[in-house]
Amino acid sequence: MPEDPNPRYLTPEYGSSVLRAPSQPLVMPKLGPDAIELTSPVFGAGELGALDNDLTLQHAGAPLGERIIVTGRVLDSDGRPVPNTLVEVWQANASGRYAHGADQHPAPLDPNFTGAGRCLTDADGRYRFVTIKPGAYPWRNHPNAWRPAHIHFSVFGAAFTQRLVTQMYFPGDPLFPYDPIYNSVPEFARERMISRFDMDTTEPEWALGYQWDIVLRGADATPMEG
Amino acid sequence: MTETAHPAPGATPSQTVGPFFAIGLPYDDGPRVAPAWRPDAIRLRGRVTDGEGEPVPDALIEIMQADGAGAVPRSPGALNREAGDFSGFGRSGTDADGGYRFSTVRPGPVNDGAPYIAMLIFARGLLKPVATRVYFPDSERSNAADPVLSAVPEDRRHTMLAERVADGEYRFDIRLQGEDETVFLAV
């Protein structure tokens, strides 16, 4: 069985985990996950809007910041593509501010950027978003705490047990060594969260391209540990 | 072992949903797994609290379930109920008091097991989701025979049982940590 790449629930360096991490061991069903847990919701193409995967076209004007293309494949644990699965993203704007009332960072909002998108993977498991490179932003976890720039990803897969919410980072971010959320992942798996700059995805006179594949765990192979 | 051209890729690790998922994840039909006007509709509601009993106002609850006949849903319509039939999937954020609510149907039993609703809870502070099952208090016989419930220490089983608070209305609270902590599953 491969080593568990996931963080532990209790990660004291990440202050919010201290009162929210379960303290009891998880209970493992003897027979493994059951029929319902091995099912995933089905999404039809007609349920999504035409502009849902282009975060730069959702308002009257163009958002400020560096336009980027983020694309990659959703794969299962055997490396097979997962087609027709829902991929959702949300992120801060180029200044590092979320369009959310609770975000107190004194950086400007962008009236042309909400920062949320979604799409279905194609037959090859590929997703693709056009967006703005998000900015780094401060938070109050510890003195002078800053999150490295990231895009939040939510992916379904073929089973409820494969459900994954994670964050995609950008190569070479100087904030990696200081971020307790990035470092909550065991060292051997951290780079799996970093996208790769890709000149072939980059479109001339238009946008830089990043590639990032998302690999889901086996549907019933690797139970979560505490 | 079967031969593969490439080694199996390593799984992408989980990261917290963070405090600002509300700009992207909640959607209108998320809490309406089945419309409330259906004669067999039930309400499922509850609160999420932390290790000090304080409400968790930034949690996201997702459920997956069989339909009333115990059939595992395979129809689209998970995002837009008008686009399809019962999809079995629901999503609700929590409010300032940690509260969530779904309108759905009571699931039928799948493969002779006790009926249940599979539930995932995401939140700021949870670096990966917690998973549990919502069982129903008025299915005593099938609950007693259920292989998952019976594997849970007896004094904690009640944390996986919804409470029937009225006709067609069930309450299921989630205590992430501490006293009476909800049983979470390694699935």
Tell me the ipTM for this assembly: 0.96
Is A98 annotated in the active site?
Answer: yes
Please answer yes or no on whether A181 and B15 come within 8 Å at the CB atom.
yes
pTM: 0.95
Complete domains list, chain A, with CATH: 50-215 (2.60.130.10)
Please answer yes or no on whether B185 and A164 come within 8 Å at the CB atom.
no
- Residues 131..170 of B with a Cβ closer than 8 Å to A: which? 131, 147-148, 151-152, 156
Q: Looking at A127, A137, A169, A210, which residue is catalytic?
A: A137
Q: What is the pLDDT of residues B1-21, one digit of tens each?
A: 444 455 678 999 999 999 999
Please answer yes or no on whether B52 and A19 come within 8 Å at the CB atom.
yes
The residue ranges of every structural domain in chain B are: 21-175
Q: What is the pLDDT of residues B100-143, one digit of tens each?
A: 999 999 999 988 889 999 999 999 999 999 999 999 998 999 99
CATH topology of domain B21-175: Protocatechuate 3,4-Dioxygenase, subunit A (2.60.130)
Nearest-by-Cβ selection for A16 from B124, B177, B187: B124
| Chain A CA closest to residue B79 | A47
Cα–Cα distances in angstroms (integers) from residue B63 to residues A19, A41, A77, A151, A163, in the given order? 23, 10, 24, 24, 12
High-pLDDT (> 70) share of chain B, %: 95
